[in-house]
Structure 1
């Protein structure tokens, strides 16, 4: 998928930004779209307005990117005006036609295994309307939320539930959740798992 980003040419593997999972939303912002050049498509703009801070996805080895046919200067201007921080690339090949998003919006999910890239999920139409939240995005990826409650195959990355949650500006190698929150969380999980099945909450 040859494209252009703020740093220049980018291939589909480049869009992963070093992570294993990639979610790509095809947004309509280009000549011929209602609102051009001041606005992107109204529906695509509502999707962009709902996107949670991407740092939370990045913490789960997942990158979210938007793609459009608009040139980078127009994308940069639109993002600044609308307050969007989502990575956004200009399409320069047939990616939109090849992946079913040339005439309608859509969300594709890809998984990278070394040099190999696999398309693992696609949704459009009403499916795109529930996108935007961290959990919604993670739930459509192959690795899911990567928490221990999920019934994942052996070898999948999993961490204790809630323990990876953090402030969006504090996902660094030495970051750790507050000790008191861990204690409360552990106690709550234990109580939930040990409660009498006949007891109503």
Structure 2
């Protein structure tokens, strides 16, 4: 299948087109900054549940997951009890998590949680070569976060020993966590998904994702 490629132009014409696009990129950056500010101003809800998670060193509470920091980001991973492998989409998200020292420097902790048992989680982590911290949720926590078998990202704030939920997103909201997509969005062929450009691909959003050892 032939793919429609960009038009070939002179260096001067390319620079003119690039400068025109940069104006729109700056507008998008400013709009994104405005939405981020609005997100920071969202009201929050107290999270009083006495949840108990299973970690490598034994049972831990939601408050424990903060590790003494003020903020906690939780990625709800799709790995259910009895499953040998996690969701490919969730797996590409975890593949794209950077060094946690950068989050820790801003008083923020990140954990991945899943309903699977801790041994099942540890086996999958070993297969994928991940070191990001995980815990097993058990019952209650995911449903209280609006997770019913799917995935999502929850954000919590700690004020002393009180815990508040400040943000949640799922579906295409998870794209913002995937650096791989940000890189592909810079290229002329993009993600090569059907919605982007006619003739560039047939995949739906994320349908081409696989676990990194399965490509």
Settle same-fold status: TM greater than 0.5: yes
Q: Deviations over 1:12-36 (max 9, x none)?
A: 001101111000010011246xxx2
SS of 1:51's partner is coil
C-alpha distance in structure 2 between counterparts of 1:53 and 1:21, whole Å = 17
Shift of 1:74: 1.6
Bigger fraction of residues in helix = 2
Q: Note if contact 1:2-1:91 (Cα within 8 Å) is conserved in structure 2.
A: yes
Check whether the contact 2:92–2:178 (CA below 8 A) recurs between aligned residues. no
Q: Tell me what 1:102 maps to.
A: 148
1:33-89 deviation digits (Å, cap 9, x = unpaired)? xxx21x101111111111111111111110000100111112112112211111101
Return 5+ residue gaps in structure 2 as ranges: 1-50, 180-215
CA distance in 2, matches of 1:128, 1:100: 15
Q: Which of structure 1's runs of 4+ aligned residues deviate more than 4 A? A: none
Aligned mate of 1:48, from 94, 99, 103: 94
Q: 1:120 aligns with which of 166, 171, 175?
A: 166
1:67–1:89: 8 Å Cα contact kept in structure 2?
yes
Structure 1: 5+ residue stretches without partners:
134-201
Which of 58, 61, 71 in structure 2 is aligned with 1:8? 58
What SS is found at the alignment partner of 1:17?
A: coil
Taking structure 2 as the reference length, what is the TM-score of the superposition? Answer: 0.57
* Alpha-carbon distance in 2 for matches of 1:30, 1:106: 14
Deviation at 1:91, TM superposition (A): 0.8
